[in-house]
């Protein structure tokens, strides 16, 4: 089989190839029938399951033997769905190797009564007014007035509208906080749109005054900043500051995570921490190591980092520990690892963020690498021996 970079096949499945990559892909496809058959099987699996997975050459025989063993032990009372197979190749970003064809799959079987639903989070947040009063937004539908602004809540979006002909003498602040399993949208008085992920917080003026627009944030927040060249928009976080004029970007900074990620979708931002700073262009990301204070700048596929706002889980060759750490905040679960090596298993996935978490765990289990046991809101993770 003629070799091709795995990322090109992946981006082809998602419809994100550049013109140069498209030419490369067509050349690979026309090189042999084997290549075309290979891609058609990858494509079929992707359409049915929402993800594809690469494994090392060492995993090939192991995975196949596990599958054969499972098939031999499949008896009455267990459902099988045809046309499941796993893609085996070399490690991420290396060249494609051998594909494991699995002609059937066995669903994860849990005795009746023991299946525990793990629902996704939803629109939940608490608004704190300047008076200190706290309002649970998902249960509040009345309009509010705060200083020089009218506040409207829809149950998923909080909007600030500055009153006309009102003199603002000083900035009055509100803040919105989301719990585990919560998210919420906010339109600030200047038109900037903000989307809070789970366990996140933003503090902002009811109306902006002066020559800068300053907000404070923590957790994961997606910004679509209204352009105002006369007043830069500043996001102050515990570990860094971000300055923009009009742009779209995502920032992630949780207390329990080592890295701070700032991902630029459009426009331009300046990210500063201590004496270090960098300017990001679209499709770039800065990563700050909170332990060392070092910051690196890199090119990324922004979809992996911002699709959460569009209701998608876009996982690209990530460690299971990193995946579950993020998901635990959204699904309000806690993760315990029976085997340390389970943390380093790597996966691809592209599924609905609002689906039951069991669907994602089931896909991971079917790779034959890990297994999950759920008790209450605790998920125990172990490798398959």
Confidence band of 80 (pLDDT split at 50, 70, 90) = very low
Q: What is the pLDDT of residues 178-235, one digit of tens each?
A: 999 999 999 999 999 999 999 999 999 998 888 899 999 999 999 999 999 889 999 9
pLDDT at 8: 78
Q: What is the pLDDT of residues 305-327, one digit of tens each?
A: 999 998 888 888 889 999 999 99
Higher pLDDT pick, 275 / 66: 275
pLDDT at 22: 82
Which sequence spans correspond to the domains of the chain?
Answer: 6-106, 122-306, 311-383
**Range in 38-42, 115-119, 147-151 the model is least confident about:** 38-42
Among residues of the chain, what percentage have pLDDT more than 70? 78
Average pLDDT, the chain: 79
Among residues of the chain, what percentage have pLDDT more than 90? 43
Q: Is the pLDDT of residue 75 over 70?
A: no
Higher pLDDT pick, 381 / 98: 381
Closest-CA residue to 335 (of 377, 384, 383): 377
Higher pLDDT pick, 382 / 60: 382
Sign for the CA dihedral angle at 200, 272, 311, 330 comes to negative
Q: Is the pLDDT of residue 54 over 50?
A: no
- The highest-confidence range among 64-68, 82-86, 124-128, by mean pLDDT, is 124-128
How long, in residues, is the chain?
385
**Range in 237-241, 341-345, 347-351 the model is least confident about:** 347-351
CATH topology of domain 311-383: Phage tail protein beta-alpha-beta fold (3.55.50)
- What does the alpha-carbon distance between residue 4 and residue 39 come to, in Å, rounded to a whole number? 11
- Region 94-115: mean pLDDT is 37
Angle between helices 19-31 and 33-49 in degrees, nearest 10: 120
pLDDT at 198: 94
pLDDT at 179: 94
Confidence band of 93 (pLDDT split at 50, 70, 90) = very low
Confidence band of 167 (pLDDT split at 50, 70, 90) = low
Q: What is the pLDDT of residues 7-17, one digit of tens each?
A: 777 778 777 77
Q: Is 271 helix (H, G, I), strand (E, B) or coil?
A: strand
Q: What is the maximum alpha-carbon separation in the chain?
A: 78
Give the right CATH number for 122-306 from 3.30.70.360, 2.60.120.1440, 1.10.260.40, 2.60.40.10: 2.60.120.1440
Can you say whether residue 279 is alpha, beta or left, with left for phi > 0 and alpha for psi between -120 and 50 degrees? Answer: beta
**Range in 127-136, 189-198, 345-354 the model is least confident about:** 345-354
pLDDT at 92: 30
- What does the alpha-carbon distance between residue 275 and residue 265 come to, in Å, rounded to a whole number? 25
- What does the alpha-carbon distance between residue 362 and residue 349 come to, in Å, rounded to a whole number? 12
Q: Is the pLDDT of residue 84 over 50?
A: no
pLDDT at 45: 63
- 216-225: string of b/e by CB count within 10 Å (b at 16+)? ebbbbbbbbb
Can you say whether residue 317 is alpha, beta or left, with left for phi > 0 and alpha for psi between -120 and 50 degrees? Answer: left
Higher pLDDT pick, 296 / 76: 296
């Amino acid at each position: 089989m003629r070799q091709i970079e795995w990322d090109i096949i992946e981006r082809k499945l998602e419809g994100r190839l550049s013109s140069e990559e498209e030419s490369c892909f067509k050349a690979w496809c026309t090189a042999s029938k084997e290549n075309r058959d290979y891609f058609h099987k990858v494509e079929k699996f992707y359409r049915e399951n929402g993800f594809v997975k690469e494994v090392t050459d060492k995993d090939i025989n192991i995975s196949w033997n596990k599958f054969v063993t499972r098939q031999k032990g499949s008896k009455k009372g267990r459902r099988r769905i045809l046309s499941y197979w796993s893609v085996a190749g070399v490690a991420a970003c290396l060249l494609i190797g051998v594909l494991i064809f699995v002609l059937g799959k066995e669903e994860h079987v849990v005795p009746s009564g023991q299946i525990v639903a793990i629902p996704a989070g939803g629109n939940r947040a608490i608004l704190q007014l300047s008076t200190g009063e706290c309002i649970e937004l998902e249960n509040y539908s009345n309009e509010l007035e705060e200083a020089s602004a009218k506040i409207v809540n829809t149950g998923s979006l909080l909007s600030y509208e500055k009153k006309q002909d009102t003199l603002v003498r000083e900035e009055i602040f509100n803040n919105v906080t989301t719990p585990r399993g919560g998210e919420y949208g906010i339109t600030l008085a200047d038109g900037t749109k903000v989307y809070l992920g789970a366990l996140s917080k933003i503090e902002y003026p009811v109306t902006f005054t002066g020559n800068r627009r300053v907000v404070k944030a923590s957790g994961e927040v997606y910004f679509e900043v209204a352009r105002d060249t006369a007043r830069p928009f500043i996001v102050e976080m515990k570990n860094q500051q971000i300055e923009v004029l009009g742009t779209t970007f995502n920032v992630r900074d949780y207390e329990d995570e080592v890295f701070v990620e700032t991902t630029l979708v459009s426009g331009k931002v300046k990210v500063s921490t201590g004496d270090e700073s960098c300017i990001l262009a679209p499709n770039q990301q800065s990563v700050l190591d909170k332990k060392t204070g070092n910051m690196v700048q890199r090119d990324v596929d922004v979809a992996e980092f911002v699709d959460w706002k569009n209701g998608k889980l876009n996982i690209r060759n990530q460690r299971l520990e990193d995946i579950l750490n993020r998901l635990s905040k959204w699904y309000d679960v806690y993760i315990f690892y029976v085997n340390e090596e389970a943390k380093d298993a790597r996966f691809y996935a592209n599924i609905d963020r609002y689906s039951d978490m069991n669907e994602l765990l089931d896909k991971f289990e079917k790779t034959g690498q890990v297994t999950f046991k759920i008790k209450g809101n605790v998920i125990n993770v172990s490798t398959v021996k």
